[in-house]
């Protein structure tokens, strides 16, 4: 989820948080009445502030392009979790958040509202780091075999077979699909389709490759198959996206904020995430 029509401050989190959090984003004095959430398999926690009032909302992953109402004139501070990783910070099950916006007050970190009072963007992101790192020290995240399968899907250029994924999970297909849905909030086949769509979107926005070549490189049956997926997830054609590309979900484009007042004890983080 991002506000596409106005300036954003976007930053990578501290290094120990990056296995779990893609990036932070901040939109001040919002002037848009709606924004569009494009499917990406991720969950956002958003602090909305203004006129001395605050609220914290959890935006679940979506299965199609979804318009959500905004409060004009308010500030939006977002934490975008990597797929399946919000479970380490939120009480709600990821599958319960899919296609919903739900209040996260009482189910997220209590210090979040105090963080949102920071005036300086730079210190705000650093304070976010401090709060989230303290949480990891108190509650070290556990590694799941589903995390490895998520990474495999994200690294695969073409289509993936659910039967192959369930074999990697070493349990029945039904058990695998149920576990994956609990962690990611989406069935594995749909998640893989969304990840491939995101990869195609990035290639359209950042390269001059012909659309047919992008479709072939990513294992789509043909260009019309790719166009069908764009209509399904974005509500636009691939050529229109190329003309009006405005994706901000790629953490590789973001920069680190300057410094952090918190020093993490790396031994408190699960070894597999180092």
User: Tens digits of per-residue pLDDT, 19-56?
Assistant: 999 999 988 888 888 888 899 999 999 988 877 678 88
The answer to whether 40 touches 249, Cβ cutoff 8 Å, is yes
Q: How far apart are CA 177 and CA 149, in angstroms?
A: 12
Q: Which of 243, 19, 9 has the alpha carbon at shortest distance from 151?
A: 19
Q: Which of 48, 85, 1 has the alpha carbon at shortest distance from 270?
A: 85
- pLDDT tens-digit profile of 154-211? 999 889 999 999 999 999 999 999 999 999 999 999 999 999 999 999 999 888 999 9
The mean pLDDT value of the chain amounts to 83
pLDDT band with cut points at 50, 70 and 90 for residue 104: confident
- pLDDT tens-digit profile of 50-83? 776 788 899 999 999 999 888 898 889 899 999 9
The answer to whether 158 touches 219, Cβ cutoff 8 Å, is yes
Helices in 188-253 by DSSP H: which ranges? 188-206, 211-217, 223-233, 238-243
Q: Which of 265, 205, 260, 194 has the alpha carbon at shortest distance from 230?
A: 194
Query: What's the 3-state SS for 62-103?
Result: CCCCEEEECCCCCEEEEEEECCCCHHHCCCCCHHHHCCCEEE
Burial (CB count <10 Å: 0-12, 13-18, 19+), residue 113: middle
Cα-to-chain-centroid distance, residue 15: 17
* Number of DSSP helices (H) and strands (E) in the chain, helices first: 10, 9
Q: Which two tokens stand for residue 193?
A: 């389709």
What is the pLDDT, as a whole number, of residue 52?
65
Query: C-alpha distances in angstroms, 106 versus 48, 109, 135?
Result: 15, 8, 15
Q: Which two tokens stand for residue 201?
A: 């979107």
State which H helix or E strand residue 104 sits in: none
Q: Which residues have CB under 8 Å from 261's CB, separation 6+?
A: 126, 127, 130
Triad 258, 80, 268: Cα angle to 5° = 70
Q: What number of other Cβ atoms are within 10 A of residue 5's Cβ?
A: 12
The answer to whether 47 touches 113, Cβ cutoff 8 Å, is yes
Q: How far apart are CA 187 and CA 172, in angstroms?
A: 15
What is the pLDDT, as a whole number, of residue 118?
59
- pLDDT tens-digit profile of 203-249? 998 889 999 999 999 999 999 999 999 999 999 899 887 776 544 33
Q: How far apart are CA 258 and CA 165, in angstroms?
A: 40
Domains recognised in the chain with CATH numbers? 1-274 (1.10.10.60)
């Amino acid at each position: 989820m991002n506000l596409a029509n106005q300036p954003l401050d976007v930053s990578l989190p501290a290094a120990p948080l990056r296995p779990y959090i893609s990036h932070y984003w901040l939109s001040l004095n919002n002037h848009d009445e709606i924004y569009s959430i494009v499917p990406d398999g991720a969950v956002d926690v958003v602090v909305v502030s203004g006129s001395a009032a605050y609220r914290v909302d959890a935006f679940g992953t979506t299965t199609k392009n979804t318009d959500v109402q905004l409060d004009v004139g308010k500030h939006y501070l977002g934490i975008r979790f990597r797929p399946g990783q919000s479970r380490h910070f939120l009480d709600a099950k990821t599958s319960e958040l899919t296609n919903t916006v739900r209040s996260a007050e009482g189910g997220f970190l209590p210090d979040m509202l105090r963080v949102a009072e920071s005036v300086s963007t730079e210190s705000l992101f650093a304070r976010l780091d401090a709060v989230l790192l303290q949480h990891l020290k108190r509650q070290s995240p556990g590694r799941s075999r589903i995390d490895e399968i998520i990474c495999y899907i994200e690294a695969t250029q073409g289509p993936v077979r659910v039967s192959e994924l369930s074999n990697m999970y070493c349990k029945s297909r039904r058990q695998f699909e149920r576990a994956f849905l609990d962690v990611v909030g989406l069935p594995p086949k749909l998640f893989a389709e969304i990840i491939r769509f995101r990869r195609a979107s990035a290639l359209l926005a950042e390269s001059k490759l012909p659309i047919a070549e992008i479709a072939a490189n990513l294992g789509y049956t043909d260009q019309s198959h790719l166009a069908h997926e764009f209509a399904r997830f974005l509500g636009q054609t691939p050529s229109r996206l190329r003309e009006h590309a405005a994706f901000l979900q790629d953490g590789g484009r973001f920069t680190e904020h300057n410094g952090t007042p918190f020093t993490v004890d790396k031994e408190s983080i699960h070894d597999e995430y180092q």
